Amino acid sequence: MNNFQRVSVWSQWMRLAHWSIALSVLVLMATGWLVANAPSVAAGAGDLHGYAASVLMAGLALRIWLLFSDRGVGGWEALVPSGTNLPAMKQMLIFYFTLGRSPLPAWYGHNPLWVPLYAMLYLFLVVMAISGLFMQEHPLFAGIYLPSIHRAFAGIITGLALFHILTVILQDIRGKRGDVSAMLNGYKLFDTERQDLAGPGKQFPAVSIDNIGRDRKKDR
């Protein structure tokens, strides 16, 4: 029988940054589409788009601050892929390709496969925010047509966001650590008993509860 223990992983500031960015991106996706494709509601959608953009910039500012102030999973080191993450990244790919039939590897904070994608996503969102802020007043900057940049990055971010939502739902259904609820209450579940990976359906070896997160957390 598995022995699960609740461990605090995501701080309130990380959760605030995450949901500010996530919810504003969803609103921006919807209102951006309405502005471009529904002239009858374009004006109202444009106003809401502007409000959501303000929330996004606030969330990004908080997340960037956490990159340098947080010594745990919110810091920039947590978004730098390492060689030790490669086996887990491979297993995550297999997990996705088999639609959750393969074992789900254990990790402490960020999904190891998404670590480089998170860093890229933040960069893309900064580009979106800057281009959206200036493109009405200065649509052409250094020979670059900002509305085209804005639309291109909007498409990429929409694809990443939809893929992220689908994969999070899949790993929450197939996993046992409460990945979705963890971003609401800050706590994940960890199996404190070490098991051998002997065949299909077995869990990956669990990390000792005393060592959880030590690779990412430093003494303050």
What pLDDT was estimated at residue 20? 96
Domain count, the chain: 1
Q: Could you give phi then psi for residue 99, rounded to 5 degrees?
A: 55, 40
Q: Write out the residue range of the structural domain in which residue 135 sits.
A: 4-11+75-191
Does residue 212 carry a pLDDT above 50?
no
CA distance 176 to 187: 12
Give the pLDDT score at 213: 46
Looking at residues 106-129, what average pLDDT do you find?
A: 88
Q: Is residue 98 part of a domain?
A: yes
Domain-embedded: residue 114: yes
pLDDT of residue 21: 96
**What's the CA gap between 178 and 191, in Å, rounded?**
12
Question: How confident is the prediction for the chain on average, in pLDDT?
Answer: 82
Is 32 part of any domain?
no
Prediction pTM value: 0.79
Query: Is residue 21 situated within a structural domain?
Result: no
In-domain check, residue 125: yes
User: Does residue 136 sit within a domain?
Assistant: yes
Task: Decide if 200 is inside a domain.
Answer: no
Find the range with the poorest average confidence among 107-111, 159-163, 167-171, 175-179. 175-179
